[in-house]
Amino acid sequence: KKGSYDHFMQKEIHEQPHSLTTTMRGRLKDSGVLLGGLKEHIKTIRRSRRVVFIGCGTSYNAALAARPFMEELTGIPVTMEVASDLLDRQGPIYREDTAVFVSQSGETADTLLALDYALENGALCVGITNTVGSTLSRRTHCGVHINAGCEIGVASTKAYTSQIVAMAMLALAVGSDQISTQARREAIISGLSSLPSNASEVLKLDAEMKELASSLIDSESLLVFGRGYNYATALEGALKVKEVALMHSEGMLAGEMKHGPLALVDENLPIIVIATRDACFSKQQSVIQQLLSRKGRLIVMCSEGDASAVCPSGSCRVIEVPDVADCLQPVINIIPLQLLAYHLTVLRGFDVDQPRNLAKSVTTQ
Ligand code: UD1
Ligand code: F6R
C-alpha cells in the first residue's frame, strides 16, 4: 500500500496535491463554495455570537491556522480551545456559540467529551473530520468531511492541510453574505484552486529538506518562530519534529521573542523563522535582524525570490516557497517542515510511522 514509498508518512506528505484536490472536489464554484452538509445551518452559524474551535494536537493547530481567516471573513470572534483544557476548566460554552470540532479520526476521547459538554450547553456543534461514520461525524449537528483519504502514519500530515482547506471553505460559506469582502473571497477561491499545483511545486524541496535535516541530526533542539497566519505553522512544524524525530522543538509566536525566548539564542541553537509575504513581513524582517545580531543560527522560510530581502547578509540558510494567497500560505509552508521532520527521523534512525509511545487515535483520556 506504500507503493514506491518507504513509509506511510512519506507517502502521505507526497500525496497532498491529490488530497487537497479531493477535499475541494465538487465544493468550489466560481461564485462561492458549496458545502452540502452545512446548507441548512449556515444562517445559524452567521447569527452566533462566537465561534469556538476545539481540537487536540495537529487538529488544534489546523484550527489555529484557520482562525485568522475565519475572523476576517465572518466578523465573528473566534476563540481556541484545546479539548482537554476546556474540560479541565469547564469553560463557558453558550447556546449562542458555534463550536467547531476538528479531528482527523473523529474518535479522540477528549474531543468527544468536549463535544458532549458543548451539546449539553446548547451550542451548535459542527464537525470537521476525515472519517465518515466516526463518532464525531455522527454526534455533531452538521459538518464537513475533509475527504483526504485514509491517513495511516501516526503523524498527521495530509489531514492537516485538508483540515485548513475545509475550514477555509467553511469561512467562505459563512462570510458569503458580506458584500465588503466579495473581492477578497474571490481571491481566496482562486487561491484555493491553485493550491494543489502549489503543493506539487513545494514538494520539489524534498532533496533540499533532506540536506537540511542532515545538518540538524545532532542538534538537541529546534525553535520555530512564526506569527499571524503562520503562528500555527510554527506550532505544527515543531510538533512534527518532536513527535517523529524525537528532538525537542518548540513553535513560538515571534511577537513573544523578547519576552523570554531571546535568552536561548546562541550560535548553536538552530532557529527556523517563517517570513513569507503577508502583512507581518516587515515585522519578521526585524525579528531576523535581531536574531542575527545575537549570532542566531537561522533557517529562514521566505517567498520565492525573497532570499536577499529576508537575509541581506547572506548568513542564513533560506528555504524559498511558492507565494499563495496570504491566508492559505500555512497550507504550503507546513510541507517543507513535514519533509524536514520525516528526513530527520529517518536519518536519526527512528520509526517514522510508529513513533515511540504514540497511538494514531487517542481514545483514552
Ligand atoms: C455528500 C456525500 C458524498 C457525495 C455528496 C454529493 C457522504 C458522507 N457524503 O457530501 O459522498 O458525493 O454528498 O452531493 O455521504 N457531517 C456531520 N458532522 C461531521 C461531518 C459531516 O454531521 O463531522 C454531516 C454533514 O452535515 C452532512 C453529512 O454528514 O449532512 C455528509 O457530510 P459531507 O460528506 O461533508 O457532505 P457532502 O460534501 O455534501
Ligand atoms: C500529531 C497527531 C496528533 C493528533 C491528535 C488529534 O501528528 O497526529 O497530535 O492530531 O491526537 O487526533 P485527531 O485529529 O484524530 O482528533
Dump the DSSP string for 125-194. EEEEES-TT-HHHHHSSEEEE-------SSS--HHHHHHHHHHHHHHHHHGGG-GGGHHHHHHHHHHHHH
> 355: pLDDT confidence band, cut at 50, 70 and 90?
confident
Q: What is the pLDDT of residue 362?
A: 84
> Which residues are paired to 251 by β-bridges?
224
The complex's ipTM?
0.98
- The reply to whether ligand 1 has any atom less than 6 angstroms from the CB of 185 is no
Q: Are 155 and 243 in contact (CB under 8 A)?
A: yes
Ligand 2 atom 3 nearest Cα? 57
Best residue among 108, 157, 246 to mutate for probing ligand 2's pocket (most ligand atoms within 8 Å of CB) is 108
Q: Are 320 and 304 in contact (CB under 8 A)?
A: yes
- The pTM (predicted TM-score) of the whole model is 0.98
Residue with CA at minimum distance from ligand 2 atom 10: 58
For atom 20 of ligand 1, which residue has the closest CA? 143
Taking a C-beta distance cutoff of 8 angstroms, is the pair 143, 173 a contact?
Answer: no
Q: What is the pLDDT of residues 306-333, one digit of tens each?
A: 999 999 999 999 999 999 999 999 999 9
- The residues, any chain, with a CB within 8 Å of residue 186's CB and separated by 6 or more, are none
CA 119 vs. chain centroid, Å, equals: 26
Cβ atoms within 10 Å, residue 262: 14
The DSSP code for 323 is -
Query: What is the per-residue pLDDT across 222-257, written as a single tens digit (0 to 9) for each?
Result: 999 999 999 999 999 999 999 999 999 999 999 999
Task: Please indicate whether residue 162, judged by its CB atom, sits closer than 6 Å to ligand 1.
Answer: no
Atom of ligand 2 nearest to the CA of 57: 9
> Does residue 64 have its Cβ closer than 6 Å to ligand 1?
no
Question: Which pLDDT tens digit goes with each residue over 81-139?
Answer: 999 999 999 999 999 999 999 999 999 999 999 999 999 999 999 999 999 999 999 99
Per-residue pLDDT, 354: 82
The per-residue pLDDT for range 259-309, each reduced to its tens digit, is 999 999 999 999 999 999 999 999 999 999 999 999 999 999 999 999 999
Candidate of 132, 134, 144 to mutate for ligand 1, largest count of ligand atoms within 8 Å of Cβ = 144
How far is residue 296 CA from its own chain's centroid?
Answer: 26
155 lines ligand 2 (CB under 6 A): yes
Query: Does 362 sit in the ligand 2 pocket, CB within 6 Å?
Result: yes
In the chain, the percentage of residues whose pLDDT exceeds 70 is 100
